[in-house]
Amino acid sequence: MITALTWLTRRQPRHLAVTGLLLASVLAAPWTRPAAAQTPDVRTARLDSIWQFPERSAPAQVLARNESRLTAEVAGTVTRWTVDVGASVTRGALLVQIDPRDSELGVQRAEAGVEAAQARLRLGEAQLARARELVAQGFFSQEALAQRETEVALQRAELASAQTQLASARRQLEKTAIRAPFNATVAQRTVQQGEAVSPGTPLMVLAETGAAEVQASVPPTDVPGLRRATGAQFQVQGQTERLSVRLLRVAGTVQSGSRTQTVRLGFTEATALPPGSSGLLLWQDPSPHIPASLVVKRGQALGVFVQEGRVARFVPLSGAQEGRAAPTTLPAETLIVVRGQAALNDGQSID
């Protein structure tokens, strides 16, 4: 370097001052090597130490297992009704009474018919017995005996028919008294005293008590998790208490409007919740999920980076959605990149 300076001062004496400044700058500058590629700051953790089991929810409502619309089965005039809307009734309790007089007359006619048939049968059996005695004595022909036996058989059939008519008449009489088919609450009353009714006329609507079910609308993607869940609960709107429920059935079709499936669940313990109560169905998805903060996008796929030796590998996650924890089937011991994943590329070396 000194030799080059001597040459410059001899060849270009007018630029000596400039040359000196350049030399001073060169000598003062520190000597550095070219910068090497920086390895990203990467941290990993076992999958089973960071996975989640997210809680799912769906709007739900308590419904009566049976909601019966009682109608008249016979024609007549309503003489009285015994309960009104909101009343609680027990199974077999009288709700509405239809005028029974016509039905009672029908029962009396049927009873008279049975008595007449029984009298004819008794006479026929007595004549048959006498005919058999005369045949044994030789005073009655076999043909006449067969005729008597036929008459008795017909009389027995007539008695059976009369007894059936009597049972039918009594059944019609029973239908004039409308009774509760189960323990229930009266949800609606549509009949008035003195009103004439005919078969099919609506009388009352009953909602069964003590056997309520929960109905919820669940996205199809969450149904498999609900099927496997063991701790589903129902939380009444505005309350903190949660009631345990169990899955009863899942509708096999998806509703076209909401794109959800209807599910029915039953309470595991007796509850006093009235039908119509609304709230949320809550359950924990039993499938392990990777936190949303660890999911990255590469190309068109969402996934996570895992460590394989000293190399980062991108693993796509089927069904992953941006901003949501993603389900995974990776082994629990898989090393997941939990720091520095945003700057990684598939196959990149990591320490």
Place 36 in a pLDDT band, splitting at 50, 70 and 90.
very low
Over range 29-51, report the average pLDDT: 69
User: In this predicted structure, what is the pLDDT of residue 135?
Assistant: 84
Rounded distance, CA 81 to CA 328, Å? 62
pLDDT confidence bin for 254, thresholds 50/70/90: very high
Say yes or no to pLDDT of 80 above 60. yes
8-state DSSP, 33:
P
pLDDT tens per residue across span 316-340: 998 888 888 999 999 999 999 999 9
pLDDT at 40: 67
Question: Which tokens hold the place of 216?
Answer: 């919820």
User: Residue 251: what pLDDT?
Assistant: 92
Q: How far does CA 21 lie from the centroid of its chain?
A: 87
* Contact assessment for residue 204 and residue 189, using Cβ atoms and an 8 Å cutoff: yes
123 pLDDT higher than 80: yes
Instruction: Give me the CATH topology for the region 56-64+210-284.
Output: Elongation Factor Tu (Ef-tu); domain 3 (2.40.30)
Q: Using an 8 Å Cβ cutoff, are 61 and 262 in contact?
A: no
Sorting pLDDT into bands at 50, 70 and 90, what band is 273?
Answer: confident
What pLDDT shows up at residue 324?
Answer: 87
Say if residues 54 and 289 touch (Cβ distance below 8 Å): yes
Torsion (CA) 156, 158, 160, 163 in degrees, nearest 10: -130
Residue in the block written with tokens 């410059």: 8
- Whether 214 has a pLDDT exceeding 80, the answer reads yes
21 band by pLDDT with thresholds 50, 70 and 90: very low
- The domains of the chain are located at 43-53+289-343, 56-64+210-284, 67-75+82-95+181-208, 101-174
Q: Which fold has domain 101-174?
A: Helix Hairpins (1.10.287)
pLDDT value of residue 38? 55
